[in-house]
Amino acid sequence: MTTPNTLRRISFVHTPDAFLADTQQYGAMFMPVWAYTLAAYVEEPERYDLRLFDVRFDDAGEVPEADLFVFSGVNQDYETIVATHARLRAMYPDSTFVIGGPVTWSLNQAGEIGKLEMFDYIFIGDGEEAFPRFLKMFPERAALPKVLETKVRFDVSQARGFYRPFLDATHRRYYGGVLEVSRGCPFLCEFCDIRVLPDNNRAHNFPPEHIVSELDHMARLGIKQVLFAADNFIGDLRWAEEVADRIIEWQERTNQRVALYTWLTINLSKHPRLLRKLRRANFDMLFIGVESFSNNSLLETAKVQNTTGDMVSALQEIQSYGFVVVAGLIFGFDSDTKEAFDLTLEGMTKAGLISGDPSLLTALPGTPLFRRMKLSGRMRNNKNSLGGYKYCTNIRYLMPREDLVGGYQSFVKRFCEGRYQYERFEGFINNLDRGNYLPLESQGYGSLGKYVSMVFKSPRAVKMLAQRLYQIGSRPEVAWHTLRALKLVASRSRRHRQLFGIFQFWLFAWTNAMLKYENLSDADFDVECVPEGFDRSLILPEHYTDFAGEDIPQSKVAAQQRATVGQLRRLTVLQK
């Protein structure tokens, strides 16, 4: 037993919500990147006993005593974090417990940081410098404030690699690898909380040589799929191209091939040279926030990068190289009408999108949308994000509840139909004939074998896999269109190599949708609309355009507000 002021044992505790992980990630578990990262900033790690526990694999009741327990998580993990903390605190009342990560930022922005009062210290902001500073102060920690806020972004050009002992010992638990490569985004979408972090309205890029070094280490461990975590991978186009060039050079030098998945924006469609390089670097899947096929809804949220051209054409251009676009879709914008659901179904078919899971608009703490909803009295005291099978949001919508819920149910029913699924798959395959297709030199980001190995680590995921197979085998319509798609792949494989991986992902996404939306009922929606007689002038509330203290050039904020205010004024006139 160490004395209270001696720090010898540090335990990092990863506590993702198990239900959400299973129902939204379908058994694919991802690395605790925050712990791999933070442990790398412990000076002289050999002086300490550093341990990592993941409650998806490790029973909290069997976690040994430590002098310091370190937690992190996202908003959806809150309840699991609290429960795990309570269990460990009861076992080790003399230990020190700290927490950081997105959940602390969000709760602080919402004025609810008191929900984490059970922790001894709460870190807000980047931890790469704050955490080692805390460790040095550990003997005198009683003099520190409970809330330790860092308002300056960490200079990621000085980033360290992952703490290798953690990565090397645990990587087999997870689906491929995850590597943070960039922070920040130059765009100003009204609903996005990326913009409200300090100095985050621009790209903060990790050095290309750092990225390649980490990728090389993962490849040598046998990792074949890596997610590049980035708020917007093409927030700095020159840097993105340099990273692609470095990866291509590394591939040629080492003969290593790793399939990559990242998050970026639709303006990639305007850069054919970068598209070719990303493909040559084995980028396979790209998450893009499409959000809506209605320009009015896009203007409302100031998603200007999505309004500068034809959305369908842009998606076709990107996918013509072989990329699978995983589309972010949102319903519930003030400008949405009940036609929004059919408009999205039509847009996805025309674009050949084989993946896209819609959510309902949520006001994230700190965002201009959050402030607008609060000023107009439209906030609900509820969770800030979607959860599992129950759709639960924190704002009151303009669209009547019966139209919103009924439209969503109608959307997912059509979305899951075999004919509709096949039409989109066929559209994706036909789009490859435009002459841009570049086959991957890796096995692809979606790996059936790797996924199945993940599934058998979770009883719930095993059950879901059985349900997935039952959906295919027991429904003639599903089986018929699955066979049609397989036949299409066989006939086109003479023209385009490596189409089976695309088929595999399409079928995976389709069966996910069937599992998620099967028997979706009105009771599954915890949503509200504005009351009858709502003052429509509050759609654009007074003081919305007042300075909100964001660390963003005011000229850019004004530009976002002009787009949002212009559309909301038009909407207000139409609704009178």
Residue among 562, 522, 196, 516 at smallest CA distance from 387: 516
Instruction: State how far Cα 12 lies from the chain centre.
Output: 22
- pLDDT confidence of residue 280: 98
The percent of residues above 90 in pLDDT, for the chain, comes to: 76
- pLDDT confidence of residue 86: 98
- pLDDT confidence of residue 58: 94
Contacts within 8 Å (CB) and 24+ apart, 479-484: 480/418, 481/418, 481/419, 481/421, 481/422, 482/418, 482/507, 484/422
More confident residue, 553 or 447: 553
Residue among 420, 413, 439 at smallest CA distance from 502: 439
- pLDDT confidence of residue 178: 97
Listed in sequence order, the residues at least 6 apart from 472 whose beta carbon sits closer than 8 Å to its beta carbon are: 478, 479, 482, 507, 511
Asked if residues 265 and 305 have their Cβ atoms less than 8 Å apart, the reply is yes
> Quick check: 384 pLDDT over 60?
no
> Quick check: 110 pLDDT over 50?
yes
The secondary structure of 321-342, three-state, reads CCCEEEEEEEECCCCCCCCHHH
Over the stretch 171-182, which tens digit does the pLDDT of each residue have?
999 999 999 999
Asked if residues 275 and 343 have their Cβ atoms less than 8 Å apart, the reply is no
Residue among 271, 272, 270, 314 at smallest CA distance from 289: 314
Dist CA 348 CA 568 (whole Å): 26
Dist CA 576 CA 131 (whole Å): 54
Over the stretch 495-523, which tens digit does the pLDDT of each residue have?
998 899 999 999 988 988 888 887 888 98
Tell me which of 249-253, 261-265, 377-381, 471-475 is least confident.
471-475
Dist CA 378 CA 395 (whole Å): 6
- pLDDT confidence of residue 27: 59
- Band of pLDDT at residue 356, cut at 50, 70 and 90: confident
Per-residue CA distances from 439 to 251, 315, 471 (Å) = 15, 18, 31
- pLDDT confidence of residue 449: 74
Pair of tokens at residue 467: 């349900």
**For the CA atoms of 542, 543, 544, 546, what is the dihedral angle to 10 degrees?**
160
- Is 274 strand, coil or helix? helix
Listed in sequence order, the residues at least 6 apart from 55 whose beta carbon sits closer than 8 Å to its beta carbon are: 13, 14, 15, 16, 18, 80, 84
> Quick check: 347 pLDDT over 90?
yes
Domains, the chain: 9-149 (3.40.50.2300)
Over the stretch 271-314, which tens digit does the pLDDT of each residue have?
999 999 999 999 999 999 999 999 999 999 999 899 988 999 99
Pair of tokens at residue 574: 């139409």
Mean pLDDT of the 532-536 span:
92
pTM of the complete model: 0.94
- pLDDT confidence of residue 387: 38
Mean pLDDT of the 432-442 span:
94
- pLDDT confidence of residue 469: 77
Instruction: State how far Cα 100 lies from the chain centre.
Output: 18
Listed in sequence order, the residues at least 6 apart from 17 whose beta carbon sits closer than 8 Å to its beta carbon are: 76, 77, 79, 80
- pLDDT confidence of residue 388: 40
Listed in sequence order, the residues at least 6 apart from 170 whose beta carbon sits closer than 8 Å to its beta carbon are: 31, 52, 54
Q: Which residue has the tokens 């959940």?
A: 103
The percent of residues above 70 in pLDDT, for the chain, comes to: 94
Looking at the DSSP bridge assignments, the partners of residue 228 are 179, 262
* DSSP for residue 181: E
Q: Which residue has the tokens 């999205």?
A: 344
- pLDDT confidence of residue 1: 47
- pLDDT confidence of residue 190: 95
> Quick check: 199 pLDDT over 60?
yes
> Quick check: 386 pLDDT over 60?
no
> Quick check: 25 pLDDT over 60?
no
Angle formed at CA 347 by CA 343 and CA 353, multiple of 5 degrees:
140
- Band of pLDDT at residue 2, cut at 50, 70 and 90: low
Mean pLDDT of the 459-464 span:
72
- Band of pLDDT at residue 10, cut at 50, 70 and 90: very high
> Quick check: 337 pLDDT over 80?
yes
- pLDDT confidence of residue 385: 44
- pLDDT confidence of residue 549: 77
- pLDDT confidence of residue 466: 79
CB burial readout 3-21, b (16+ within 10 A) else e: eeeebebbbbbbbbbeebb
- pLDDT confidence of residue 454: 67
- Band of pLDDT at residue 391, cut at 50, 70 and 90: confident
Dist CA 81 CA 108 (whole Å): 16
Dist CA 54 CA 438 (whole Å): 39
The region that residue 455 occupies, defined by phi over 0 for left and psi between -120 and 50 for alpha, beta otherwise, is: alpha
Dist CA 267 CA 285 (whole Å): 16
